[in-house]
């Protein structure tokens, strides 16, 4: 086990790569989901609030 963790003396390099990679994977997954959720929320809010206020152009002549 200790041998595995030491990575033949390259532990710092290999493990920081592994850590970085998984951090990026996790970050991508979380931010993508959060983005989708926030966009949905924004659309819902807009549809609830905006509808009556939205004036529309009309001809008056």
Partner 1 sequence: MRLPNWLHKFASPPHFYRIAARIEPWMLWSGLAAIAVGAFGGLLLAPPDYQQGDAYRIIYFHVPAAYLAMQLYALMAIGSAIGLIWRMKLAYAIAAAAAPVGLAFTGLALATGMLWGKPMWGAYWSWGDARLTSVLVMFFLYLGYMLLHASLEERSTADRAAGILAVVGVVNLPIIKFSVEWWSSLHQGPTISRLAAPAITWDMLWPLLVMVAGSVLFSMAVTLTRARAEVLLRERSARWVRDAAEACA
Partner 2 sequence: MNLVSTMLEARRLTIWRGERRLCRDLSFSLASGSLLLLQGRNGSGKTSLLRCLAGLLPLESGTVELNGIAFRRDPARYLRCLGWLGHKDGLKTELSVHRNLAFRLRLAGLAGKAGKEDELLERAGLKGLGNRAASQLSFGQRRRLALAGLIGAAPPVWLLDEPDANLDAQGREWLQRELNSHLDAGGCAVLAGHRMEWRVCGPAPQLILGIAR
CA end-to-end distance (rounded Å), the chain: 86
Residue 9 near partner 1 by CB under 8 A: yes
CB 5 within 8 A of CB 11: yes
Confirm or reject binding of residue 44 to partner 2 (CB under 8 A).
no
Phi and psi for 52 in degrees, rounded to 5?
Answer: -70, -30
> Measured from the CB atom, is 8 or 60 closer to partner 1?
8
Which pair of tokens denotes residue 24? Answer: 């990026």
For residue 25, state whether it binds partner 1 (rule: CB under 8 A). yes
**Contacting residues toward partner 1, per CB under 8 A:** 4, 7-10, 13-14, 16-18, 20-21, 24-25, 27-29, 31-33, 35-36, 38-40, 43-44, 46-47
């Amino acid at each position: 086990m200790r041998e595995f963790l030491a990575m033949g003396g390259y532990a710092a390099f290999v493990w920081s790569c592994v850590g970085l990679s998984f951090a990026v994977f996790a970050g991508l997954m979380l931010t993508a989901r959060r983005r989708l959720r926030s966009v949905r929320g924004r659309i819902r809010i807009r549809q609830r609030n905006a509808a009556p206020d939205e004036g529309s152009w009309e001809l008056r002549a």
